Structure 1
Amino acid sequence: MRPAPSLQFLRPYTWKSAGAPNPAYLRFFHLARQQELEQANALKYPRLRHNGPPMRIPDFRHKYAQIPQGTVAEEEVTLHGRVQSVRRAGSKLVFFDLKGEFENVQGICNLGKLEDGTAVRGLKELARLLNRGDIISVTGKATRTPAGELTIQATHLPQLLTPGLVPLPTKLVDEEVRTQNRHLDMLVNQRTTDILRLRSYLIKYLRDFFHERDFLEFQTPILAGDASGATATPFTVSAKTVSRDVALRIAPELWLKRLVVGGVDRVFELGPAFRNEGIDQTHNPEFTICEFYHAYANLDNLIALTETLIRGAAEHCQALIATKLTSLPPIDLTPFSRPFRQAEFIPTLQSALGFTLPPLTSATALPDLLAALDKHNIPLDPPTPPTSLAQLLDHLAAAHIEPLSADAPLFITHHPVCMSPLAKSFVCPATGQHVSARTEVFMGARELANMYEEENDPFEQRRKFVAQLDQAQGQAVAAGEDGEGGGAGGQAAVAIDESYVHALGSGLPPTGGWGCGVERLVMLFSGTRRISDCLSFGNLRNVVGLTAAGAAAGGGKGLVPELQGAKSRDE
């Protein structure tokens, strides 16, 4: 074997902050380090064997937080972690920083304190080989240095468990490199990891919130014959078992309401949903949804429960940011004071537009409203007229109502019936318009949650399904499609779920339902404006790009081609 190139000049290497690192340089680093470790007989990837009781680094820091300076604990423990830095102080003393489970601890390897008979040569070899990014096992005793640093003082020579064959950067800010190497982004940038940790803590908070209120968590089908429960374009896949295409769910709503019919008065689900639509800063085709259904709850109950949930989540996340997730900005709890503001849809919109809306249930409601907007010189954004009344009202709300939530949560209540085909409806005594018993809560002009009193009349529900289908087909025709929905043009697939209507015939109690995109809450409380930051590997475009890059690397042209088809040294 040819001599290994020296790595001394490689160790201070920092990945470029602008542009990707040179792949040829990284391949050379990998080869050189691999050869050096092989020559030292250190490239073993050994099975894990403990010299003492293993302990998590967070538990180590907690247990010995009050140990005095100069004191050495009697208990011998073993810590595992990734080396963050190595500092050599002569031939008999090595300092290193070890990180595990998001916390750091200092380690000292002093030849005079080693109890395993290690000679000077062994410590010098360790100091030469140990590198930033290596994963090691350290057995020793807790102490506190004269500088006040909690430290594990090694009693056995640290063992290399997994060598880092690719250099671990000390700085990583280039967006493309971060996206393509999310694992490195997480190791280097604390904020990246803290956002994902906040997501995990927030999901636990949601589950605990509902369990404490006697809700049961059920899992409902992700694959079904048709997608229903929301107006969106589904993904379809071929299923050999049933000899037909099936759809990935766009929402679990109708399944969960069937469970309420079946006697589960309080039910919730946290899980994935899929919508075959666009990608932007706040939308991704795959996301996590939380929905609950509460029998005998009305809109006032839903609003009160939502205020409690969001205020509690804000306090919970702020406590985490103050103690664990310190790279995230603090949350100002003042805007989350209860009660949250409310704005009724039609009166608020009429006030903003300066005219009274035409009857929104008439057959000519869409052209009448467009004519009124034109008469009052109110432009549309985008300027192309929407193809449905619900779409137009949604655009107007985004422009004139949702911005009222810029500084504090806002409930927008009582939407026109054409916007809520699954909600109960009534005639508003103030405006005379048919509206839904529905509200959405917004913060910073972003929707956080949607809730309403569920339509439980099977005849009225079927009529609303038919109206929704007619509207979708009209949009498809206007867009130049075949009117069936679900095509490449992006029209939502709408079908009349006859089995759900039949289930309503068995009696759905008066029920309040609620849905929330989990990533929206993570964005709110983490201070990020991109949904991709809240997803473990970014949005769908990032994920597809990452797997495509991996496939391209399969021919040995990847970052570390020598690993292609290689076997473990223990095989």
Structure 2
Amino acid sequence: MSTTSCLQFLRPYAWKPLVARSNGGGGYLRFYHLARQHELTQANALKYPRLRHDNGGVPMRIPAFREKYKHVESGTMADEEVVLHGRLQSVRRASSKLVFLVLKSEFEQVQGMCNLRKLEAAGATLESFKQLARLLNRGDIVSVTGRATRTSSGELTIDATQMPELLSPSLVPLPVKLADEDTRIQQRHMDLLVNRKTVDTLRLRSYLIKYMRDFLHARDFLEFQTPILAENAGGAVARPFTTTMTGVASTDLSLRIAPELWLKRLVVGGVDKVFELGPSFRNEGLDQTHNPEFTTCEFYNAYANLDDLISLTEDLICGLAQHCQDLIATKLDSLPAVDTSSFRRPFAQMEFIPSVEAAIGFTLPDLSAPDALDTLVADLESHGIAVERPLPTLPKLLDRLAATYLEPHSASAPLFITHQPVCMSPLSKSFVCPKTGQTVSARTELFMGGRELANMYEEENDPFAQRDKFIEQAKHRDTAADGDSAVNADGELLVDENYVQALEAGLPPTGGWGCGIDRLVMLFSGTRRISDTLSFGNLRNVVAVSTMRKPFERDAAAAAADEKTGSS
């Protein structure tokens, strides 16, 4: 059996194997690719033409076409001839002289009608019409020239006045359904084409980012870009990705953990309201809610205090919730609705130390004392609360107490957890809490659904206090977990002296704010996996794609060998 006759036999089943086969179709797909390539070549249709606009029609986007001609009445025909480009979602052959197409572009689709009786005026013949109808397949990218009309069934349609042109054929079948996880990861483009929820989640991400930018621009913030690659990762306690550069071989470079220190240098330089929305990197865990490469938005507002930051955050989150729900109700209907009633102002607040003490049933020791960790561990164990071994650092132990006893209170509504112990916030201003007598930070974190969404605090602008806090942070660093040494080659504690020197020029009282974009998208799209919010999934997914073999190169050689030996 020839490849062409094989293809004709298999065409009715062309998009079924991808549903059933976990490996994406395997040998079937490779055969389909070669057979379709052969058929298109034989028909002189495998051309990949340059796009041209000299055929008399006006190029128009499908969404614009639907909007412009939404009031066209059944049985009438628009005067203007237009050209639509899109990917075929279906080809329905009503008869030997009538074919219906469904084109999709920019997430909207429209019906095309090809009637040989009308196309004969443009030079079409019965044979050429049949050949084109036989060649067109779901997934092909085509151009249709015609006039807007509405069929008797009420469907807005472009009535073709010229033979559709094949711009780019799909040499592999476009499945109707794609459920296998491995195939979705390795062929993300197919996942986007087939699974509406996948692309709607990414569209929501784009709209969400635009809303945040517009929100900040409307409040006179300026967006700046700061270095991603530098000698010091800076801005948070985490293990960085490190590399070297040939031009500065003696210096190790790091991908930034956060843009914080750079942005505050800009505030020192007179940029009172500044933000950056972009990538950060942490060489740590990879799970459903963490990815080593992630997107953050940070802003710094001179002369803003913690109350200002909380108010601004409530404005932003409430606005985002309503905006995302409006999008889901109109454009992104594959996503679950956002319960906007959960985002009512003011958001609930819990003070860290009093709330933890109420939950565990005893008073925390002086957390600024040198033996605070040992004392806290002893107190916890004496009250029947297990502490893992090896012992974590004090900040990490306190963080785990919050995760156990405080964060679950955010299950159904936003929650601010405020005034964390100073050891957990080395870059924020601190004060003695009048309720507990503990030194705490002028900081709050916003949680929703048990996940941290945003972190904000009044920035430490005292260079002497900041240097002391850097030293204390280095002492607390868990070298076994972070993979970094707290000292340099000379045995000195690592301190960002350049940043301390910048503070000496005078940082105004400043409120700083940061949030993870990926977590926000997870919240408002209703997904539980961070990989669903990323264009090509998490780092593990990206590695899986980038290391894929190239099947068609190998299979073309195998096909040539088969042809030489007379195989079919």
Match of 1:240 in 2: 246
What is the aligned counterpart of 1:553 among 547, 550, 553?
A: 550
Shift of 1:226: 1.1
User: Quick check: 1:344–1:412 contact (8 Å CA) kept in 2?
Assistant: yes
Shift of 1:66: 1.3
If the length of structure 2 is used for normalisation, what is the TM-score? 0.94
Amino acid at match of 2:134: R
Shift of 1:433: 0.4
The 1:273/1:140 distance shift into structure 2, 3 A limit, reads same
The 1:562/1:342 distance shift into structure 2, 3 A limit, reads farther
Q: Distance in 2 between matches of 1:393 and 1:9?
A: 66
Match of 1:537 in 2: 536
Match of 2:9 in 1: 9
Shift of 1:242: 2.1
Q: Distance in 2 between matches of 1:18 and 1:517?
A: 36
If the length of structure 1 is used for normalisation, what is the TM-score? 0.93
User: Quick check: 2:238–2:482 contact (8 Å CA) kept in 1?
Assistant: no
What is the aligned counterpart of 1:104 among 102, 109, 121?
A: 109
What is the aligned counterpart of 1:467 among 452, 472, 479?
A: 472
Shift of 1:560: 11
The 1:423/1:20 distance shift into structure 2, 3 A limit, reads same
Please list the CA deviations of residues 355-396 of structure 1 after superposition, one character each: whole Å capped at 9, or x if unmatched.
Answer: 11111000111111111111111234xx33532110000000
Matched, 1:92 2:91: no
Q: Distance in 1 between matches of 2:461 and 2:265?
A: 11
Q: Distance in 2 between matches of 1:201 and 1:480?
A: 35
User: Quick check: 1:220–1:252 contact (8 Å CA) kept in 2?
Assistant: yes
Which consecutive unaligned segments of at least 5 residues does structure 2 have? 561-568
Match of 2:308 in 1: 301
What is the aligned counterpart of 2:23 among 17, 20, 38?
A: 20
Q: Distance in 2 between matches of 1:190 and 1:388?
A: 45
Match of 1:123 in 2: 129
Please list the CA deviations of residues 316-350 of structure 1 after superposition, one character each: whole Å capped at 9, or x if unmatched.
Answer: 11111111111000101011011100000001100
Shift of 1:495: 3.4
Shift of 1:6: 3.8
Match of 1:327 in 2: 334
Tell me whether 197-206 or 11-20 shows the greater mean CA deviation. 11-20
Match of 2:523 in 1: 524
The 1:562/1:412 distance shift into structure 2, 3 A limit, reads farther
Q: Distance in 1 between matches of 2:481 and 2:546?
A: 34
User: Quick check: 2:241–2:255 contact (8 Å CA) kept in 1?
Assistant: yes
Shift of 1:555: 9.0
Corresponding residue SS for 1:112: helix
Matched, 1:166 2:163: no
Shift of 1:479: 6.5
The 1:80/1:454 distance shift into structure 2, 3 A limit, reads same
What is the aligned counterpart of 1:343 among 350, 354, 369?
A: 350
Superposed, 1:178-189 pairs within 5 Å as 178-189=184-195
Corresponding residue SS for 1:377: coil
Match of 1:260 in 2: 267
Match of 2:82 in 1: 77
Corresponding residue SS for 2:110: strand
Shift of 1:241: 1.8
Which consecutive unaligned segments of at least 5 residues does structure 1 have? 487-493, 564-571
Superposed, 1:180-329 pairs within 5 Å as 180-243=186-249, 244-329=251-336
Shift of 1:559: 10
What is the aligned counterpart of 1:42 among 24, 45, 55?
A: 45
What is the aligned counterpart of 2:405 among 393, 400, 407?
A: 400
Corresponding residue SS for 2:173: coil
User: Quick check: 1:236–1:248 contact (8 Å CA) kept in 2?
Assistant: yes
Shift of 1:557: 3.9
Amino acid at match of 1:522: V
Matched, 1:430 2:435: yes
Q: Distance in 2 between matches of 1:278 and 1:45?
A: 44
Match of 1:491 in 2: none
Match of 1:566 in 2: none
Please list the CA deviations of residues 464-518 of structure 1 after superposition, one character each: whole Å capped at 9, or x if unmatched.
Answer: 001111111xx22x669784589xxxxxxx9311111000000000000001110
Q: Distance in 2 between matches of 1:70 and 1:48?
A: 31
Amino acid at match of 1:379: A
Identify, as 1 or 2, the structure richer in helix. 2
Matched, 1:439 2:444: yes
Shift of 1:91: 1.2
Q: Distance in 2 between matches of 1:546 and 1:420?
A: 38
Corresponding residue SS for 1:432: coil
Shift of 1:17: 4.2
Shift of 1:116: 1.0
Amino acid at match of 1:373: L
Tell me whether 79-88 or 234-243 shows the greater mean CA deviation. 234-243
Shift of 1:94: 0.3
Match of 1:355 in 2: 362
RMSD of Structure 2 on Structure 1 (CA)? 2.0
User: Quick check: 1:519–1:534 contact (8 Å CA) kept in 2?
Assistant: yes
What is the aligned counterpart of 2:140 among 134, 137, 140?
A: 134
Shift of 1:4: 2.6
User: Quick check: 1:94–1:127 contact (8 Å CA) kept in 2?
Assistant: yes
Percent sequence identity over aligned pairs: 65
The 1:392/1:182 distance shift into structure 2, 3 A limit, reads same
Shift of 1:541: 0.7
Corresponding residue SS for 1:9: helix
The 1:211/1:560 distance shift into structure 2, 3 A limit, reads farther
Corresponding residue SS for 2:550: helix
The 1:480/1:543 distance shift into structure 2, 3 A limit, reads closer
Match of 1:146 in 2: 152
The 1:18/1:364 distance shift into structure 2, 3 A limit, reads farther
Amino acid at match of 2:9: F
User: Quick check: 2:59–2:84 contact (8 Å CA) kept in 1?
Assistant: yes
The 1:457/1:562 distance shift into structure 2, 3 A limit, reads farther
Aligned length: 549
User: Quick check: 1:237–1:246 contact (8 Å CA) kept in 2?
Assistant: yes
Shift of 1:445: 0.4
User: Quick check: 1:556–1:562 contact (8 Å CA) kept in 2?
Assistant: no
The 1:507/1:201 distance shift into structure 2, 3 A limit, reads same
Superposed, 1:445-456 pairs within 5 Å as 445-456=450-461
The 1:287/1:562 distance shift into structure 2, 3 A limit, reads farther
Matched, 1:33 2:39: no
The 1:177/1:110 distance shift into structure 2, 3 A limit, reads same
User: Quick check: 1:23–1:559 contact (8 Å CA) kept in 2?
Assistant: no
The 1:142/1:265 distance shift into structure 2, 3 A limit, reads same
User: Quick check: 1:30–1:560 contact (8 Å CA) kept in 2?
Assistant: no
User: Quick check: 2:30–2:552 contact (8 Å CA) kept in 1?
Assistant: no
Please list the CA deviations of residues 224-263 of structure 1 after superposition, one character each: whole Å capped at 9, or x if unmatched.
Answer: 1111001111001111122222101010000000000000
Tell me whether 114-123 or 455-464 shows the greater mean CA deviation. 114-123
Matched, 1:175 2:181: yes
Amino acid at match of 1:391: K
